[in-house]
Structure 1
Amino acid sequence: MPMALVSSDSATDGRSTQVPAAWRALRIAVIGAGLSGLAAARMLADQQHQVSLFEKSRGCGGRAATRRAAYPSGQPSGQPLRFDHGAQYFTARDPGFQRRVQSWAQRGLVAPWDGRIGAFDGTEFTPAGQETTRWVGVPGMSALGRELAKGLSVRLETRVMPPRWCRGRWQLSDEAGTDLGRFDRVVVSAPAPQSAELLMDAPRLAAQAACVDYTPCWTLMLGFDTPVPLAFDGVFVNQTQGPLRWVARDSSKPGRARPARDAAVAGNATRSEEDCWVLHAEPGWTRKHLNDPPEQVEAAMLEAFAALVELAGGSLPRINWRQSHSWLYSLVETPLEEGCLWDPALGIGACGDWCNGARIEGAWLSGEAIASRLLAAVASA
């Protein structure tokens, strides 16, 4: 997938953690409100611990993100445009995670994306991965993180400095030096390079996090005034020279406005409904052009997309809206496959997709894993 997402309540997969007889509520800080941090926070809060979740961004969910844009001027009024500019979809293979996803689907948080997916090898288009169930958030990927954060104590737009061990507890402060409190346990849920910095008082864990590499990704979001004449809703572009690696018709996903794709392919697209696309650049090309001006990057990616559509026998409609975004930590190249990192003596650890095979599924399972480790350590104390 491009860019490439156990508690005690009824929405879990049934694996619950027993509260020890000598139980006491701990103050626990979770740094990072991506899906792994949310998984850990939810599980720990379900066990009645006092969980504080800190996030440097304006919203929860990490790369399961959706960009909203105002409807283009001069067009009929309607809903704002939405673009899943990070994770495009996720799969569920682990049985426990499958049950979790089914519970989300029952609540209307996610739905299968039945878009037609293809691959382009530089010469021709072929169908790809039709047997795979691809899940997306509804009405955007960010809806999942936003809903899962409800009921949790979340402090947004707060950049936490490395926690410091002080008199048997962890002292947290933000970049302005504001005291954020003292905590019994700390869970770090951030990209590996950032986690390594936050774990400086736990050097063994920091060294493990520092070994993990990521690929960056330039993303281009495009809004067209009529449907793009491409028979596929998502295409893996298998050309290592770049610039494109993946293109997707976001408006084909459930809960979004659905364009007249079939009419566009037939050459009679007359509807004015906006057609939203997300383009992801090839990792090597992104590295080479990571510091280029956005205008140059957008021009190169748009030219490549136009060429792709021309090879399919069509041409790009008029563009009403466009914007680029660079993900420095996009896809994990060298995941640890440790599940999570935890130091029971210090009471600090880390989780994330980089601990558990990348992807959204790995991130969620990593969050559950570290919560389980923490609770088990409390139970055995």
Structure 2
Amino acid sequence: MNTELQSHPKPTRCDAPVVDARVVLLTHYIPIYQLPIYRELSRQIRDFHVLLSTDVEPNRHFQPRWEGLDVTLQKTLTLQRRWRHSAGFDDTLYVHVPYDTGRQLRRLQPDIVLSLELGFRSLASSLHRILHRRSKLILCTYMSQHTEQGRGMMRAAARRWLIGRADAITYNGPSCFDVLSDLGADPKRLFHFPYAANPDSIYTGPRQSSGSPSVTRMLYIGQMTQRKGVEAMVEQVVRYAQQHAEQTFQLTMVGEGPLRESLSAVATPANLGIEFTGNLPSEQLPTLMPAHDLLIFPTLADEWGLVVNEALHSGLPVIGSLLAQASTTLLQDDRNGWLYDPRDDSGLAGCLDRWLACDAATRGSMAQACRDSVRDRTPAFAASGLIDACQFVMGHSTNDRCDD
């Protein structure tokens, strides 16, 4: 349990804040990709504080960075549990119980509380809202209809209660919007707060060809776990290479996880090379993306999937699982990638067939279409959704973003 205060000076603001209020954000930890968004919030909010449950979760491999933010590490009990999903995977989750939330909120006396997810921290924030009527509560949610399957009636009832206590709620994508609507949320109180790629993690230069139409360079970035669907992906790539001996395939696997050892032992045909790089810092992605032709995102369940954004920003077409909200929201077949069902043994092969059928001109136009499809999905755009929600609960604006 960590209790020490970790603060950094806020950047100097030359103009008046958009939100003239004290705002406290409660979240589990700060991923590297969220840092630019939170900095933008800090720039636009008069007094912005962050309460963290932990500095980083055990299965995350990066050095926490909070510079430019006022951060307090809470007293937290962290529990580990298993997530068994109907899609056929078993995954590890960490549940955080920041038990000093009430005390921290009384200390900070916020005008607005932003609480991520619909668990203990949001329950404590809701109780604070009940006891302090002048404060406002915004719940920040990250869900999809697929990830919410099998959650149970008791959890649904608890979430309906939390939703009923909130002054506004944010959603990360269309499927999350539908989940909230099904739970009884008022659409007028829903605001789009999407993911956005960290500018340091994307490649903005010209695309680089492999130099040969007979060479296909594929990239996977993520954890090597059951939930990520990597076993089936590797099996399908091996089978496809065996059936296309005239082609050369390269697959780069970036990340770590319990399946890495078994995956590295998979026998491959002579025309397929698989490289395991281990974990790489996000700053290396801009050099990695242009050295490949395609990103494969084979997940069995993801409420979003930011690597899809990162690839598209870099001009890299994506073969993406339809079980991830990022894929179903951002991908258009034959324009910036292809959707496929990772549970279908022939799904990935069909997408690779379509890639091989593309000539150089088509591949070039796809690279541009990739970038065009996410051009507006910047940290500033993401932050603007939460700023709109803050203005709404303060009575300064109406919501015009709920139809995204």
Where on the TM-score scale, by shorter chain, does this alignment land: which range? Answer: 0.3 to 0.5
- State the TM-score, normalized to the length of structure 1: 0.33
- State the TM-score, normalized to the length of structure 2: 0.32
Q: Which has the higher contact order (CA 8 A, sep 6+)?
A: 1
- Which protein has the bigger helix share? 2
